[in-house]
Structure 1
């Protein structure tokens, strides 16, 4: 059995909107785990439980615990210990709060913590692999010992994404050779069966040299009998990976290796059944058959009372913390149409970033550079469904609203970038949009395979996007020859931007490190680090916001009079705000099976 990307979702609760949900949680997952264990006991099967990382970050509870560390055991660790996990792997987001904090969490685990490619003396409890011995009954009734090996790895790009936490203290080596060594070591130590915990997904595009989703290659490593994936928040087996070469989305096989990816935030329990046979005179058994399945939670799945109780103290303290007011908003803001026209939400975040950087560079030579801000709009539906939108009310703004805007523990940094680089940056962002064709009224505006958080707008510039033109880059960020691109008329203060002109751009540390399939900046280009935590920068800005600047900030627009229409998926609540986008002539066009409202827009 396997979980992955739990992201601190201990109970089914939406802390941003302060309400219970019908979604997933570890407490619900516990009910499925107990049921699966009972089934295994009835058949005499050996049963192990593994987690694949991104465990300690994700909900406002995780942020609260990181900001208010105490002597109490961490509730997520308590919960995993209570459920008797056999081994735990690490994901990239487990490093978001720093090595010291992570070390305090990991020291409380009863299960071994694994990662073969994270190298650091700061976390001595981490092992590249583990072997545990279990008794199992054969079909003939004989009881034998079985040695189970588990290995684990995370994307090497973690070293770039989390460089501010790891620099000088840890390194992340390439995953493939690290796993090959770990598998060889556990096999040499007598492992009969080897399971790989790979905090990576199945690549749906050619990710190039810096691939972060290498599950297909990992499944091909000799000596691995089963793989648990994650990281992308997609599910496998199932339709999320239909058509991907080398994988069987119905059976859950990659080649002959059973593989499972159990969603995120407690949505699914991954279950792999292996039937083994030891040939006569053979040293180790062989897998002769297997099945792979996802067991999904729903609104009817009960939450395990023991796990819910473990989270109660942190839950109550987090709710009280999030209820604190931080500012007043004169007008409501939302992200319902943010992928079809500039929204006030990213404009607010851009203003907060620029303020933090302008204060950090005061009195330095960097003040001479034009200051811009790159912002990806948070919460625009996508894989997380029609509830994944931001809606900020006019009046009192509370910490829970800030938590909804900023779900990750990012820092405000600044990078130097030329006009040429900014042009490429915007072109890669514009991959979000499908190539629209005149006369096709049912084409999607946004490519559903491109998450909204990969769409950066650069505030301080103005520019046009023509989605009827072919993109200049492919999905992996490689330039396409002979394509001129979709972004044009890039201007700063009304003047066309020169390719050699130099700018200072406020960004998050994640984007500076190349997060979101962007080209990472090198150390010489990152000129301001840790100007402020992004959530604090926003709260500081809201003490005296420039409301006019936020309302009028509109860096991009679609090229006028394209003569095409396209469908946007948004929240049902967006239908009450169609007056916000009169120039797009929105027409309600039904509802998707997932619950999104469909709007036909005219460009």
Structure 2
């Protein structure tokens, strides 16, 4: 680039997807029907429109793309048995001409070898700056994209765009099997080293692909959601964020120090978070001006574009992925067993979910058999599981809904979404009580004598609401939650868990149990991290829970788990609460007759709203 005192101005448009989770075709494999308004094939239309209106475009993906739907599960199983076929995600992203991508924690769900083989055919570079792998050749620590762009006068300029990528340091905590293969460093410490290096190599601008959420500004070692302090690192010009499945900028996003959710700024720098499952496209427009000091960002805007509900999936992508799509549908239609009663998660969060009980039964039976002859085999086995599909940000169709009759592989994938590995801990009664206290953080405090109070904290995802089988307890919502949605201790004196019993007897603080859970709960940063200690492990992540569930159901042939979970709410005098669920919940209100349910309408998001009396 020749030196000149002439001022040149050009615009660059950054387009971004994040947290696709293998939602490529806008199809709900659990319900076996189209799901309009989501999926990369539908986002393709927004990408095309944005490119058509702006000549200087860059397209990035921000990770968590390889895992999340039965399509991803099928590809992982079939490609392991039949290697050499391109991954459908890569086929679609190659068609859309991505410029670069980073990886997220869920991209390692099937192991690092599968990830590397799946991405080997990518015609775009992959970057992860804080990731160290034994086989790191495919994934680079930084990228320098060289692009020729036109300025506002139509003159061509060669720009060097530095790209960095980051994923949560907790990735190897969430799956301990990865520790032998890779290391993930602190995001901020890594950025402070990598940015000056890219600048020294001649980067005109630097874009950070941060598979990390937007949260508080305080810097802590090993931050999971570090996008805000990352924006403070000098030299970063724009950020693509993700991981927490929200949209930014958005009027619904909470403001905070350094966070401007209306203009899409983090410490004054443009940032986007494009939802999840292909629901949105992130767009950052940068205005660059060149002077004697080189190119400088002199203006910016950020926004997210929602995929229209009537968007037509790109025909080229649909055709290219049809073989895997149809094979997935056939594979997951295989019958495994039968159930005489329906199973659904409409009422999971208020005490009824037969499918969740089935998962806990399978986990408990497996661990009892695995511990035969072990010194702790005499201890009672209890099992913790959480509903994966119980509404929330997934919307009113994001529920398990299986009629009586055949149970298929699709049914089991619906019951247990994640490829987590099973583990078991020796715990005390005090730890079990605290485990349930943490789960009870999903509920808001309910004031006596007040009507129509919200029951659920929207910031607490249902997949963190562990229900422990083999126990019974009451939850007293008249007091505040002891822990917040992150597991932080908010009210040390609060106690919501009452009358905890096992086999009809009160659980003493020093009682001992074998608690079955999954490897994800062993994370050093999760809600249950202080309780899931590795020195208490008696089984450590040997098999995947979904495989255990499949074998359990197949052996039984017919399964009829009870719907009632182990908890109920303590009465709160004169109080009523609002509980949102699937529109299909109206056919099951007899299950909660003791709460005098009343249907009071439909929310703007499409949920059916119930009034319940505690």
TM-score where L is the length of structure 2: 0.93
Measured in 1, the distance between the counterparts of 2:313 and 2:149 equals 30
**1:204, CA displacement in angstroms?**
6.6
Q: Provide the rounded CA distance (Å) in 1 between the counterparts of 2:398 and 2:160.
A: 44
Mapped to 1, the partners of 2:554 and 2:115 lie a distance apart of 33
Q: Is 1:421 matched with 2:417?
A: no
Give distance in 2, aligned partners of 1:330 and 1:308. 37
- Worse-superposed segment, 51-60 or 119-128: 119-128
Determine the structure 2 residue equivalent to 1:51: 61
| Equivalent position of 2:283 in the other structure | 271
Q: CA deviation at 1:547?
A: 8.3
1:192 deviates by 0.5
Q: Which residue of 2 aligns with 1:304?
A: 314
Q: 2:357 aligned to 343, 347, 362, which one?
A: 347
Distance 1:204 1:457, change over 3 A: farther
Equivalent residue for 2:35?
21
How far apart in 2 are the matches of 1:318 and 1:184? Answer: 46
Is the deviation greater in 256-265 or in 505-514?
505-514
- Alignment match, 2:137: 124
CA distances 1:196-226 after superposition (whole Å, capped 9, x unpaired): 0000111279897664211111111110000
CA distance in 2 between counterparts of 1:476 and 1:183 reads 30
CA distance in 2, matches of 1:342, 1:551: 9
Q: Partner residue of 2:569?
A: 558
- Residue 240 (structure 1) aligns with: 252
What is the distance in 1 between the residues matched to 2:428 and 2:40? 46
Q: C-alpha displacement at 1:38, in angstroms?
A: 1.4
Q: Are the aligned partners of 2:217 and 2:257 in contact in 1 as well (CA < 8 Å)? A: no
Shift of 1:260: 0.3
User: Is it true that 1:261 corresponds to 2:273 in the alignment?
Assistant: yes
Superimposed CA distance per residue, residues 275-309 of structure 1 (whole angstroms, 9 cap, x where no aligned partner): 01122x21x31111111111211222221111111
Indicate which of 180, 193, 211 corresponds to 2:205. 193
Query: Quick one: distance in 1 between partners of 2:543 and 2:492?
Result: 42
Equivalenced residue count is 596
Deviations 1:541-584 (A, max 9, x none): 22355989832763211114644210000011111111111111
Equivalent residue for 1:456?
A: 466
When residues 258 and 546 of structure 1 are mapped into structure 2, their CA distance, relative to the original with a 3 A threshold, is same
For 1:310 and 1:148, how far apart are their aligned partners in 2? 31
Structure 1 stretch displaced more, 410-419 or 256-265:
410-419
CA contact (8 A) 2:216 2:256 kept: yes
Asked if the contact 2:421/2:543 (under 8 Å) is kept, the reply is yes
SS in 1 for 2:168: coil
The residue number in structure 2 matching 1:108 is 121
Q: Residues of 1 paired with 2:114 and 2:392: CA distance?
A: 32
Contact 1:152 1:179 in 2 (8 A): no
**Structure 1 residues without counterparts, runs of 5 or longer:** none
| 1:243 to partner: Cα distance | 3.1
1:332 offset after TM fit, Å? 0.9
Cα deviation, 1:125-153, whole Å, max 9, x if unaligned, reads 11111001111222233322111000011
Matched-pair contact (CA < 8 Å) for 1:454–1:516: no
Matches within 5 A, 1:481-496: 482-496=492-506
2:565 & 2:168 partners in 1: Cα distance?
36
Using the TM superposition, give the Cα deviation of residue 317 of structure 1 relative to its aligned residue in structure 2, in angstroms.
0.6
Residue range with higher mean Cα deviation, 417-426 or 580-589: 417-426
Q: CA deviation at 1:450?
A: 1.1
Asked whether the 8 Å contact 2:39–2:278 carries over to 1, the reply is: yes
Aligned CA distance change for structure 1 residues 352 and 105 (closer, same or farther; 3 Å): same
**TM-score scaled by length of structure 1:** 0.95
User: 2:554: which partner in 1?
Assistant: 543
Which residue does 2:6 correspond to in 1?
none
- 2:589 pairs with 578, 581, 595, which one? 578
The Cα of 1:481 is off from its aligned counterpart by: 5.2
The RMSD of aligned alpha carbons is: 1.9
Q: Distance in 1 between matches of 2:24 and 2:571?
A: 47
